[in-house]
């Protein structure tokens, strides 16, 4: 396979209407763009939705982490570039670099994707994908999403939320972006005025559905991390999250 | 002024990750794109943020309505085109047409913008803008946002919501998109499986802020409308909304 195909980039510009209160790219928008360019690149490689559905399979995002120097700011031109780092029978690791037009690299992201059978919801053996070794680009990404995220032991911050109509995606499950908003909303607006996100890691364990009420619990650990779990009414963990910050 | 400058278009493609449960463009995304291209066109015309701030003024969206044949659907190519219909000392009317690459016109939108002084929050006299008559394009738009939206008399559907960190924009107020989600969330997911949005109108009366808890009340009227008001704890109406639907 041509090396040019093994990497895929998209350019963006952050509009004023798309900014957070701090004049930056919302994390949920960055993660939506990460998912979108992963999807586009998979289509180009012939391993997209239309290809996997022939085996009644679809990609699901299992984990995602982001390591940031800073987020893109208002009116800034930035790009995302993605490539596949690894591929085995169980999952694929896909990486991303976030580059500012003026500053160069401002962040990295690494994601883990599984495929599931859409009828049984059981994992699909990725050996159905021929030539998958050929799609791998030997390019370094200095982040890893291989560590287990601890669940909060104490509940320093606790909120309840009921999933609503606009939280649901085409798979009839809660969107990734909504989970990202919910974990970020554990902290007040002015916290983000004084601190910026340094590291973000989220792992998806169970699918959330419309009408379900969840508990969002966070622990502030001794080493400056915020650990969050979103748990449903049957006490099943839907997703777990770890964030660290730096003072602005 | 060159007529070409009086109109501005942007092309979009709806990705799978960006769809609702019904495989369509989320209304809040359409409205974000409407605000974004309005902003871009204002910049081109020399009446953007950077221009108005010289008079300590900024544009605020007062009303917005949308009349839809249908929403763009998954993987569809569509465009938005905007132009100014009218301009006086108090407000400007800006229109939009939504076009599908394959089907032609699928919707129209009309918006009313005021400018306010960012220190006093009082209206700015738009006669500060020279040559404003020259920016008007004599192009028809078969929707009007000149009618008053009635407030719900009964509260057939009632929800409470507290504004959170990710609901807040760069002006430190609740984003337009969040209000759009809140009024759409008055109806359950499966309602949208059987009905599609035909007409949407929203008027903004007061600004919502972080931490505030609001009551969202809706009345189903005899003529098939859903009237919604978002009201703060001091009983001040933040915004009012009217929606009608057609059976799919």
Q: DSSP states of B205-216 as a string?
A: -S---TT-EEEE
Closest Cα of chain B to A187: distance in Å?
Answer: 7
Query: Please, where are the H alpha helices in A83-197?
Result: 176-184, 189-194
Judge contact between B192 and B128, C-beta under 8 A. Answer: no
Residue range B72-80: mean pLDDT, rounded: 97
Residue B156, number of CB atoms within 10 A of its CB? 14
Residue B120 three-state SS: coil
pLDDT at position B77 is 98
Please report residues of A whose CB lies closer than 8 A to that of B165.
21, 184-185, 187-189, 191-192
Q: Which of B22, B39, B166 minimises the CB distance to A181? A: B166
- Cα A197 from chain centroid (whole Å): 14
Of B31, B170, B15, B168, nearest in space to A32 by CA: B15
Of B241, B230, B233, B182, nearest in space to B63 by CA: B241
C-alpha span between B132 and B123 (Å, rounded): 17
C-alpha span between A171 and A174 (Å, rounded): 8
pLDDT at position A1 is 78
Please report residues of B whose CB lies closer than 8 A to that of A80.
none
Judge contact between B68 and B199, C-beta under 8 A. Answer: yes
pLDDT at position B146 is 61
Closest Cα of chain B to A168: distance in Å?
Answer: 6
pLDDT at position A50 is 84
CA angle A171, A177, A183 (to 5 degrees): 125
Using the Cα atoms of residue A10, residue A97, residue A86 and residue A180 in order, give the sign of their dihedral.
Answer: negative
Would an 8 Å CB–CB cutoff place B187 in contact with chain A? yes
Would an 8 Å CB–CB cutoff place B40 in contact with chain A? yes
Buried b (16+ CB within 10 A) or exposed e, A117-132: eeeeeeebebeebeeb
Length, in residues, of chain A: 248
C-alpha span between A93 and A85 (Å, rounded): 5
Judge contact between B65 and B86, C-beta under 8 A. Answer: no
Residue B158 three-state SS: strand
pLDDT at position A223 is 81
CB–CB contacts below 8 A, A to B: 96
Backbone torsions φ then ψ of A225, nearest 5 degrees: -90, 150
Nearest chain B residue to A170 by CA: give it: B21
Judge contact between A87 and A135, C-beta under 8 A. Answer: yes
- Both ends of chain B: CA-CA distance in Å? 44
Using the Cα atoms of residue A87, residue A92, residue A98 and residue A101 in order, give the sign of their dihedral.
Answer: positive
Q: What is the pLDDT along chain A (248 residues), one digit of tens a residue?
A: 788 899 999 999 998 888 999 999 999 999 999 999 999 999 999 998 888 889 899 999 999 999 999 999 999 999 999 999 998 889 999 999 999 999 999 999 999 999 999 899 899 998 888 888 889 988 878 886 567 899 999 999 999 999 999 999 998 999 999 999 999 999 999 999 999 999 999 999 999 999 999 999 999 998 889 999 999 999 999 999 999 999 99
Q: Which of A36, A188, A211 minimises the CB distance to B17? A: A36
Residue B3 three-state SS: helix
Closest Cα of chain A to B148: distance in Å?
Answer: 26
C-alpha span between B140 and B158 (Å, rounded): 38
Nearest chain A residue to B74 by CA: give it: A170
pLDDT at position B35 is 95
Q: Residues 228..247 of B with a Cβ closer than 8 Å to A: which? A: none
Query: Quick one: DSSP state of residue A32?
Result: H
Is this prediction's ipTM beyond 0.85?
Answer: yes
Q: How does residue B224 score in pLDDT terms, banded at 50, 70 and 90? A: confident
Rg of chain B over CA atoms, in angstroms?
18
Whole-structure pTM value: 0.94
What are the pLDDT digits (tens) for B101-139? Answer: 999 999 999 999 999 998 998 999 988 888 888 899 988
What are the pLDDT digits (tens) for A173-188? Answer: 999 999 999 999 999 9
Q: How does residue B165 score in pLDDT terms, banded at 50, 70 and 90? A: very high
Residue B28 three-state SS: helix
Question: Residues with Cβ < 8 Å from B88, sequence gap 6 or more?
Answer: B126
Of A69, A10, A14, nearest in space to A38 by CA: A10
Q: How does residue B144 score in pLDDT terms, banded at 50, 70 and 90? A: low
Pairing of strands A7-13, A77-87: antiparallel
Residue B127 three-state SS: helix
- Cα B26 from chain centroid (whole Å): 13
User: Are A170 and B74 a contacting pair at CB < 8 A?
Assistant: yes
pLDDT at position A193 is 97
Using the Cα atoms of residue A169, residue B192, residue B147 and residue B93 in order, give the sign of their dihedral.
Answer: positive
Query: Please, where are the H alpha helices in A9-164?
Result: 27-45, 49-52
User: Are B17 and A189 a contacting pair at CB < 8 A?
Assistant: no
User: Are A17 and B23 a contacting pair at CB < 8 A?
Assistant: no
Question: Residues with Cβ < 8 Å from A225, sequence gap 6 or more?
Answer: A242, A243, A244
pLDDT at position A21 is 97
Question: Residues with Cβ < 8 Å from A158, sequence gap 6 or more?
Answer: A215, A216, A217, A218
């Amino acid at each position: 396979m041509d090396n040019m195909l093994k990497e895929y980039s998209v350019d963006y510009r952050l509009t004023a209407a798309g900014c957070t209160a701090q004049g930056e790219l919302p994390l949920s928008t960055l993660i939506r763009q990460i998912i979108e360019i992963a999807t586009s690149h998979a289509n180009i490689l012939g391993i997209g939705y239309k290809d996997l559905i022939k085996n009644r399979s679809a990609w699901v995002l299992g984990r995602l982490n982001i390591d940031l120097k800073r987020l893109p700011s208002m009116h800034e031109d930035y790009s995302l570039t993605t490539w596949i780092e690894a591929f085995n029978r169980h999952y694929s690791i896909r990486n991303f670099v976030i580059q500012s037009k003026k500053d160069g690299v401002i962040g990295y992201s690494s994601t883990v994707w599984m495929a599931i059978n859409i009828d049984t919801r059981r994992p699909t053996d990725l050996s159905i994908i021929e030539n998958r070794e050929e799609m791998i680009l030997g390019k370094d990404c200095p982040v890893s999403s291989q560590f287990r995220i601890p669940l909060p032991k104490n509940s320093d911050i606790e909120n309840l939320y009921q999933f609503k109509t606009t939280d649901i995606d085409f798979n009839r499950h809660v969107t990734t972006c909504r989970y990202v908003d919910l974990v970020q909303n554990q902290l007040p607006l002015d916290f983000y005025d004084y601190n910026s996100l340094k590291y973000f890691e989220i792992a998806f364990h169970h699918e959330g559905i419309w009408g379900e009420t969840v508990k969002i619990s966070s622990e502030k650990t001794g080493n400056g991390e915020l650990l969050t779990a979103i748990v449903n009414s049957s006490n099943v963990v839907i997703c777990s999250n770890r964030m660290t910050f730096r003072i602005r």
